[in-house]
Chains A and B, each alone.
Chain A
Amino acid sequence: MNPELAIECHQLTRKFADVTAVNGLDLHIPKQTIYGFLGPNGSGKSTAIRMLCGLLLPTSGEVNVLGHQVPQQAEQLKKHIGYMTQAFSLYSDLTVKENLRFMAQVYGLSGKTQNRRIDEALSVYHLQGLQNRFPSNMSGGERQRLALATATLHDPKLLFLDEPTSAVDPQSRRDFWESLFDLVAEGVTILVSTHYMDEAERCHDLAILDHGVKVADGSPSDLMASMEAWVVQVEDSDVLKLKPHLASLPDVISVSHIGLHLRILVNKSIAQPVAYIQQQTGFLDTDVQVREVAPSMEDVFVVATQKRKQEHDR
């Protein structure tokens, strides 16, 4: 395995009865980066993460995490990874401090190290005031800070975060991501799954998953630059009427209604996308603004998942 990589997997596949949750996944995740899994619910993000930690057995494929073969050497790996489950999974009937103490002991930290690391965690994640509170009475953001604090108690080299911000307000999400970048600066590698576009955009690299298949991967800027579609925006007070017609065109990938304008994804094969849309809408000689805009992460996501759908339908 390449020593620069934290995670490497080849043709990783997992089937549940007649559903293929993860299908032929290849990953090369460099150390000290934040790697994102972007995908809707049921796209195989959690299943993939669980296979990478050894919680689920792959149906086929090879996994190497931090130099350990998984699942064969999963137990040796456990000491070096931290894990945040999708739902809060610490004990609601133990206080914040007791949860930290328990996890520190379970990770086998010595008495002195335990105290030091728990104190550090309390201060880094602003939990001092909550030490004796029970998670059942804490906000989503507070619980998430506690979960990250416990996941990093033993100084793991690699963190798996499964939709860590799904129950958290926007400000807490921002703070959370700041913490992640601090961890990366300390040398930690992070694999995070999300269905938020703004979070995906913050990752160094990401993979877009759709029905268990990786439909695109790369850095957010590369993905946006190499997107196989134009983004055309139409600003008109009466855009609603245009939507059905535009959506039915073969070279229009998707039409979405955003505020007072329509955002249209047009196939790259069309040479003049603005003119094409003007023709189709009859806005050629009117003062209705039709212009090309820069792609967003959401556009990348839509194009990638639509492409797979078309190939699948064919």
Chain B
Amino acid sequence: MMSLRRLFAVMRKEVWQLKRDRLTVGMILGIPIMQVLLFGYAINTDIRHIPAAVVDYANTQLSHNLVTDMEASQVVRIYARVGEEKELEDRLRTGEVSIGIVIPEDFERRIQDDSRAAAQLLVDGSDPIVLGAAQQLTAMQQHQSSQKSASSGKLFEVRNYYNPERRSAVNTLPGLIGVILTMTMVIFTAISLVRERERGNLELLINTPITSNELMIGKILPYILIGFIQVSLVLFLGFMIFDVPIQGLVVDVYIITLVFVSANLSLGILFSTLAKSQFQALQMAIFVMLPSILLSGFMFPFNAMPTLAQWIAEILPMTHFVRLIRGVMLRGAGLGELLPELLVLMAFTFITLVLAIKRFHKRLD
């Protein structure tokens, strides 16, 4: 049984409340902007002004030129010139600098020798961005015409201090849409019913003819629109700032979003029927958020994970979303080719929504 009038009443009420909830509005717009800028910056390997210190044992014209060249590249900024390597390591450990440049005494001889690196970079590998920048520096060529013979040799060798493996470059932005939607959507609905219970509104509401369906679906529908706003914002920022194109159809992106957002909202509302307080609802949302970010294939390649982690990942809507959105945005796949993933998300939505409606009773006990 479903009355459209009551459904619209609930939807309109949600919009009224949302409009006045500045923090939530801030979250709707702020989280996508923040995430895109933050992650977008990380995608951008053209890093500038990394703090560095140098120890120049050679102290020759050539070694001075090298340091000047490095500064000119703007990748590093030399903060200190120190006397010995030990001091470099100290500064690296305290975090004062992220790159240490060691120019050995026999620098000029090494430059002539193709088999050996001429100088050394000590890199704070705990920061993958710095590591990436250091890789860039190794490609730097000695450009002085007087030293033509050196151009074929390796100028630097990289000694990675804290992160022995390099992080594989991923196409962050499409997956990032999933992260943003999981963070915001689950929380919106997870909190919504519990909040009404905590504020006492629910006791009044369950004493009216309203049905569970009307209440649940009325609470979900307005947020689908919010999801579209967020996706549009991310796509716009991604395109304008970071030139992220959409290889497939834009309409497909929105269809995927619709299904994924519905799945998250239904999950949130199910949490809302289980939680006893807004705090509990938030905790449940975090329980989904973390594995979604870590296991979905957004951060690490799905196939490299152990089987158990893969099973868990298959339950998470985000895993399917990452496959769908990467397919459409990066590989230009059509929805027809990705249908199974879409169907899994639809089934997930249906099951969680039915569970939520079944769990919700118009009673206080």
Distance of A101 Cα from B21 Cα, bound (Å): 20
A78 CA to B363 CA in the complex, in Å? 12
B206 touches A107 (CB 8 A): no
A55 touches B208 (CB 8 A): no
Interface residues in B1-21 by Cβ distance below 8 A to A read 3, 5-6, 8-10, 12-13, 16-17, 20-21
Taking the closest CB of chain B, its distance from the CB of A11, in whole angstroms, is 19
The answer to whether A85 touches B200, judged by C-beta atoms less than 8 angstroms apart, is yes
Interface size on B, as a range, is 20 to 34
Contacts A83-B204, A85-B204, A108-B5 hold; do A93 and B20 have CB atoms under 8 A apart? yes
Closest to B6 in A: A106
* Chain B residue with the shortest CB-CB distance to A110: B5
Whether A56 lies near B13 (C-beta < 8 A) is no
Q: How far is the CB of B192 from chain A (nearest CB, A)?
A: 12
Which of A74, A89, A101 contacts B204, CB < 8 Å? A89
Cβ contact within 8 Å between A87 and B210 = no
Are A105 and B200 touching (Cβ within 8 A)? Answer: no
Q: How far is the CA of A194 from the CA of B183 in the complex (A)?
A: 46
Contacts of B12 in A (CB 8 A): 102, 105
Decide yes or no whether A91 CB sits under 8 A from chain B.
yes
Q: Are B364 and A50 in contact, CB atoms less than 8 angstroms apart?
A: yes
Q: Which of A89, A91, A98, A106 contacts B203 (CB 8 A)?
A: A89
A309 interface residue, CB < 8 Å from B?
Answer: no
Query: With the chains together, A74 CA to B205 CA distance in Å?
Result: 14
Most chain A beta-carbon contacts within 10 A, residue among B8, B20, B199? B199
How far does the alpha carbon of A106 sit from the alpha carbon of B200 in the complex, in Å? 17
What are 23 A-B contacts defined by CB distance under 8 Å?
A: A53-B207, A55-B207, A55-B362, A55-B364, A71-B363, A78-B207, A83-B207, A85-B200, A89-B201, A91-B13, A91-B17, A91-B199, A93-B16, A98-B13, A98-B16, A102-B12, A105-B5, A105-B8, A106-B9, A106-B210, A107-B209, A108-B3, A108-B209
A-B contact sample (15 more), CB < 8 A, given A56-B364, A57-B365 = A78-B207, A78-B208, A85-B204, A88-B200, A89-B203, A91-B13, A92-B199, A93-B16, A94-B13, A98-B13, A102-B12, A103-B208, A105-B5, A105-B6, A106-B209
